[in-house]
Amino acid sequence: MATAFADEALRIRSAAGLNDDLIARGTGAARSTVRDWFAHRSAPTGVRAERVGELSAIIDRLPRVMASDYIVVWLTKPIEALDDDKPIDLIGRGEFRRVARLISELEDPGAL
């Protein structure tokens, strides 16, 4: 099962154009660790695997509300609605729900 998380890291790299540095930030892992996931020398486990899943969920939802080539920009810029925090850093710190709530508002502005 752990290799499934490494495969998911590869998928989100491709789907959103995230490099090893951004996936490291979004999972709290070291860049070298993420490169090992990409090469299947290791795989995320525990909290890192959870972060890969959370980052993946965000990546899958964002094309509903923005152009795919803008996702990497949105993830890495300060967002006023997130107290000027960067979504990628919030996800890496385990604050996935804050980012998910904002995306819910973008998906359906009257929902919250």
- Answer whether 5's CB lies under 8 Å from 53's CB: yes
14 burial type by CB count under 10 A (0-12 exposed, 13-18 middle, 19+ buried): exposed
Q: Domain range holding 64?
A: 2-107
Kindly tell me if the per-residue pLDDT of 1 is higher than 70.
no
Q: Is 112 within the bounds of a domain?
A: no
Element (H, E) at 49: helix 46-61
Bridge-partner residues for 85, per DSSP?
79
Residues 8-47 have pLDDT tens digits of 999 999 999 999 999 999 999 999 999 999 999 999 999 9
Residues 67-100 have pLDDT tens digits of 999 999 999 999 999 999 999 999 999 999 999 9
Q: Is 50 within the bounds of a domain?
A: yes
Half-sphere exposure of 2 (CA within 13 A, CB side): 11
Q: Is 98 within the bounds of a domain?
A: yes
**pLDDT value of residue 111:** 54
As for how many domains the chain has, the answer is 1
Residue 108: band (very low, low, confident or very high) from pLDDT cuts 50, 70, 90:
confident
110 burial type by CB count under 10 A (0-12 exposed, 13-18 middle, 19+ buried): exposed
Residue 2: band (very low, low, confident or very high) from pLDDT cuts 50, 70, 90:
low
